[in-house]
Structure 1
Amino acid sequence: MEITLDTLGKRQKATILDFDMDNVPLKLLEMGCLPGNQVELLEVAPLGDPLYLCINEAHIAIRRELAKEIRIEIRK
C-alpha cells in the first residue's frame, strides 16, 4: 500500500518509494532519503510537527509539509 511519509505511525517502518525532486531539499538526499532506503518514525513533536525519523541510521527531523512529498510503502 503506497502512502506518504506524514501518515506513518510512531515506531512504524517503511520503504521510501519516490518523491518530487523539486520539493525535497538536496540536504535530505545527502542524509539518505533516497528511494529504496528504510525509514522509521521515532517521535512526533508535541504539536504534531516536526517528525523525528531514522533513515538509514541517520536521525533527522523534518516538517510534516515536507513529509507529504515523500511516498512510502509500509513494511510488513
Structure 2
Amino acid sequence: MGEDAFALDHFQVGEQGRITDIQAEAELLQRMAALGLREGCVVQVLRKASLGGPIHVRVGTTEVIMRRIEAKRIVVVPMLDLMATP
C-alpha cells in the first residue's frame, strides 16, 4: 500500500476514497466487480458495525455490505470532500 492509501476497513463513517487496488483471488475480484467495486471507483463508508462486524459502503448508486476481511483487501486513497465548508 502506498503512503496515502489505506485498507477500506480503516475508513470512518462518511469518509470516501478512490479504489486503487483490490488484493484478492480471481473469483473474489470477479464477485466484487459485479457489485461495482473496481479500481478507479469512488467508495463511501455509510456504516460500520461494532465488534468487527460488517461494513456498509456505497459505490456509485449501489450499496454493498461486506465482511471486514473483504474490506481489508480493498486499497483506497482518501478523497477530500470538495463540497465541505470550513
Cα gap change, 1:65/1:21 in structure 2, threshold over 3 Å: closer, same or farther?
Answer: closer
Kindly indicate whether residue 43 of structure 2 is the aligned counterpart of residue 39 of structure 1: yes
Q: Quick check: 1:72 aligned with 2:79? A: no
Task: After TM superposition, list the pairs within 5 Å mapping 1:1-76 onto structure 2.
Answer: 1-22=4-25, 25=28, 26-76=30-80
Q: Which runs of 4+ in 1 moved over 6 A?
A: none
Say what the alpha-carbon RMSD is for the aligned residues: 1.5
Gaps of 5+ in 2: 81-86
Gaps of 5+ in 1: none
1:7-65 CA deviation, whole Å, 9 max, x = no partner?
Answer: 01110010000112417722221111000100000001233310000011100100111
> How many residues in Structure 1 have an aligned counterpart in Structure 2?
76
* 68 and 38 in structure 1: CA distance in 2 versus 1, 3 angstrom threshold: same
Q: What is the TM-score normalised by the length of structure 1? A: 0.89
The equivalent of 2:83 in structure 1 is none
Residues 54 and 64 (structure 1 numbering): CA distance in 2 closer, same or farther, change over 3 Å? same
